[in-house]
Amino acid sequence: LRTLAWLSLLEKNGIINTILNFLHLPSLNIINTPAAIILGMVYNYLPFMVLPIYNVLEKIDDNTINAARDLGANTMQTLTRVIIPLSIPGIVSGITMVFVPALTTFVISNILGGSKVLLIGNVIEQEFTKGSNWNLGSGLSLVMMIFILISMAFIAKYDKDGEGMSV
């Protein structure tokens, strides 16, 4: 539904181009381009990355940050040596929640990309529905699943406390 809203915003007679034409500016042709797919994916998956990070950052004690400053750390050192290491569980959780759906999506690229830009999810979907080549679709799905499992194991390596809820 959110992707369809972007379609109505970005299409040739959409709201954005109507406003641009009213302001006597050239219209944008974003629909059916990789930029539209990136915009749609960022819009759809950004909350799933931001919310876990926000949750972890909210739990960082102010006294920890004040202690770093009292010990002589500047803002950049406080960020890189205190805040980011303490936010790793939220980053791992966000990556886990975004990586698999973003990798396997085919709806966003079909709607906003007009099937001109193929993602791995599109190829698998086409092999099962239009191509009737279930063997290739199954093989690609298996390769993608192995890649996802290896990626999740790699992410779990950096999630020492298990707070990121990866594999």
DSSP letter for 11, please: S
Q: By the 8 A CB rule, do 99 and 167 touch?
A: no
pLDDT digits (tens, 9 = 90+) for 4-40: 888 888 888 888 889 999 999 998 888 888 988 999 9
For residue 125, count CB atoms less than 10 angstroms from its CB and return exposed for 0-12, middle for 13-18, buried for 19 or more.
buried
Q: Residue 49 above 90 pLDDT? A: yes
Q: How far apart are CA 13 and CA 28, in angstroms?
A: 10
Task: Give pLDDT tens digits for 51-72.
Answer: 999 999 999 999 999 999 999 9
Q: Using alpha carbons only, give the angle 57, 97, 42 rounded to the nearest 5 degrees.
A: 85
Domain residues of the chain, as ranges?
32-157
Specify the CATH number for 32-157; select among 3.30.70.940, 1.10.3720.10, 1.10.260.40, 4.10.490.10: 1.10.3720.10
Q: Does the predicted model carry a pTM greater than 0.85? A: no
